[in-house]
Structures are given as C-alpha cells and as structure tokens.
Amino acid sequence: MRFAEVRRRSCGSGITAADGLALHTLVTNIESVKRWDRTHAALKRAALELFAERGYDAAGTAQIAARAQVSEMTLFRHFATKEALLLEDPFDPRIAAGVASRPGGEPAMRALAEGIRQAWREVDPESTQLLREVLRIVAHTPALTGAIERNSNETITVLTQALTERDVHDLEARVAASAMITGLSVALLDWAQTEQGELSAVLDAALDVLGGQ
C-alpha cells in the first residue's frame, strides 16, 4: 500500500497524519519481513537442490545464489557460512519449549525424550521433508563432520539450559543432553544411510530407548 493512499484513506476516516504514517511504517515493515522470509526460504531450497544434484562440496555459494535469483552478497546476509544453508536448526526453540512443558520432577532423560517427541509431532510435513533431505546430504558428506558437531553442541547447550531451568543439576543436565543428542544422531544418520522404515518411527523408537521406556 502506497503512503499517499494510506494518507488519503486516513483523512477521510478521522485518523491523524501521524496515525497514517505509523500505519504506513507498519505495512512497510511487514512487507520487508515477508520479503526476507521468502528470500531465506528460496536460498535454502536452492542450496538443498544443488547439494543433492552436485554434492555438497561441488556446489558453491555463487551457484546457490544464482539458482535463488539473488546476489551472493544477499546470500551471506541470510547465511553466514555455506554450512549454515544446510545445518540451520529451527527446531531448538520448539524442543526447549517441549522440555519446559513436561511435569515437574520427571527424570531428566524422560523429560528430554518426551519434550522432543512433542516438538516433533508439531512439525509440519514440509519441514519433515526438508529434514529428510538434509539428513541424506549430511550422511554422505564427510566434510560436514565438524559442522555437525558444532551444530549438535548448540542443541546440547539449549537442552542443558532447559533442564537446569527445571532445577536439574548442571552436570546431570549436560550429561543427559549430550547422551540424548548423541543417541538421536546415531539413529537419524543410520536411517539416512539406509532409509529403511519411516523417519517418524525411527525417531520414536530411539526416544523410547533414550527415555527409558
């Protein structure tokens, strides 16, 4: 919506010029956020397509930007590194919220397992498909080993904090979070190598074991 149109409408409805300017600013900000989100998603999709077609090592950031029809500079405004295009993790906040919602006094490993299970059930089908694609690429790219470890450490930190906020001792929280993420990584990467069975079933089975069921 153009500012002149906002102003014209505001004058006929008793809204002040300041109100019209505020509305114009709000509309502009919303449009900017939507444009950022569209570009972010387009870059991630372009990266996954090229990684699948050419392999992670052979696909460069310039090629990814070109596929998404943006400049390489724009790509790096959205993703600090090439590996971030693949390993950016949108699930950590959901998992932390799931753990926080668990009953008080529940053992740490059970709280983690059930919190993660709850978060997974809220993931939409498109995000689930993206995770499948990421796992396939990661499983066949040895160069990503260090990046995976860094990404896992970030998730462990988030889960450790979620547990300590439930009055779990810091050492116990770190041990539980590390064990959970290590166990899930083994299960998910094994699935990515074989793709035997449904991903959700593999995840549920791993959480049953890790949660002590």
**SS in 3 state form for 118-184?**
HHHHCCCHHHHHHHHHHHHHHHCCHHHHHHHHHHHHHHHHHHHHHHHCCCCCHHHHHHHHHHHHHHH
Per the model's pLDDT, the better-predicted residue between 33 and 164 turns out to be 164
Q: Which CATH number fits domain 89-210: 1.10.510.10, 2.40.10.340, 1.10.357.10, 3.40.640.10?
A: 1.10.357.10
Q: What is the pLDDT confidence band of residue 6, given thresholds at 50, 70 and 90?
A: very low
Listed by start position, the domains of the chain span 3-85, 89-210
- pTM of the full predicted structure? 0.74
Q: Is the confidence at residue 26, as pLDDT, over 90?
A: no
How many other C-beta atoms can be found within 10 angstroms of the C-beta atom of residue 51? 24
The C-alpha atoms of residue 36 and residue 44 are separated, in whole angstroms, by 12
The C-alpha atoms of residue 140 and residue 83 are separated, in whole angstroms, by 14
pLDDT for the residue numbered 89: 76
Q: Is the confidence at residue 56, as pLDDT, over 60?
A: yes
Per the model's pLDDT, the better-predicted residue between 24 and 77 turns out to be 77
Do residues 24 and 3 touch, judged by C-beta distance below 8 A? yes
Q: Is 4 helix (H, G, I), strand (E, B) or coil?
A: helix
Per the model's pLDDT, the better-predicted residue between 178 and 22 turns out to be 178
How many other C-beta atoms can be found within 10 angstroms of the C-beta atom of residue 119? 19
Do residues 174 and 123 touch, judged by C-beta distance below 8 A? no
138-178 pLDDT tens trace: 888 888 888 888 888 999 999 999 999 999 999 999 999 99
94-133 pLDDT tens trace: 999 999 999 989 999 999 999 999 998 888 888 888 888 8
pLDDT for the residue numbered 13: 54
**What is the third-level CATH fold of 3-85?**
Arc Repressor Mutant, subunit A (1.10.10)
The C-alpha atoms of residue 2 and residue 147 are separated, in whole angstroms, by 45
Q: Is the confidence at residue 9, as pLDDT, over 90?
A: no
